[in-house]
Structure 1
């Protein structure tokens, strides 16, 4: 069964709103000073909690049971991540577009979610009803976007100094 979802993000906060058939069905809301997030989509509620100084891992906690239901690990060099579910299943998040405007979550067998973005809006086409995987894909997108912003902010003074020297 295919599921089609539209999303919109607020570029200042990074929050995502998720819509099905024009009706808002969910939200991913990020903490102000951290990359932790709260998500609600349809009847599921998850908390994404980043672990470690470099935030190379995220624990996904089910708000109803307070259990860790998934762990996301990031590969900073390749812009990909692995979502490991409590059941033992693993899914890969991978950027597929040249401008990082398309990305997928897949187990490379029978479940595949395709995301497409354009500025602060986008679409999701999913052949699974797994709400956790659907929101995790957008969460990971936000994490990688935030890393790019930090990287640019770190190198911008160096670039400006070298430009002003000449």
Structure 2
């Protein structure tokens, strides 16, 4: 049975709100200058703690037990990520749309989640009830959005300075 979750994000801070049947069921709240976040979705509460330069990986902590339940490893060159659960299962996050408006989380067997977005909202269509995977897909998308923003913020002043020196 497919589960549909609507989401909206705040462009300024990147936070998400999750809705089912028109009622808010969860949220993802990011730190101000980090790619770490807190999330609540129905009865689940997770903390995402990013580590390494360019946030090369993120530990996912179950806030009820304070145990690490997953690690997300990023492949920034290919816009892919691997979600490794502590039970040994692995899922791949990847962008599937030409304009980065669609992405998936899948084990390529029996669990598949599809994300679509338009502007600052979208839909999650999931054939699994795994709330961690649903949240992780949005979290990873935002990590890549933040990396792109930082890259642009670093490159634009260099290009501008270089252009102004030649005039």
Give the TM-score category using the shorter length. over 0.9
Q: Which residue of 2 aligns with 1:90?
A: 90
Q: CA deviation at 1:53?
A: 2.8
Residues 40-98 of structure 1, C-alpha deviations (whole Å, 9 max, x = no match): 00100000001123310000000001100000000010000000001100000000011
> Which runs of no fewer than 5 residues in structure 2 stay unpaired?
none
Q: Write the distance in 2 (CA, Å) between the matches of 1:124 and 1:26.
A: 13
Partner of 2:22: 22
In 1, are the aligned partners of 2:54 and 2:147 still within 8 Å (CA)? no
What's the TM-score, normalizing by structure 2? 0.97
**1:161 corresponds to which residue?**
161
Looking at structure 2, the residues matched to 132 and 60 of structure 1 have their Cα atoms a distance apart, in angstroms, of: 9
Q: TM-score, normalised by structure 1?
A: 0.97
Number of equivalences: 166
Pairs within 5 Å for 1:1-166? 1-164=1-164, 165-166=166-167
RMSD in angstroms over aligned alpha carbons?
Answer: 0.9
The whole-number CA distance in structure 2 between the counterparts of 1:19 and 1:163 is 46
Q: Distance in 2 between matches of 1:99 and 1:86?
A: 33
What is the alpha-carbon distance in structure 2 between the residues aligned to residue 2 and residue 163 of structure 1?
A: 52
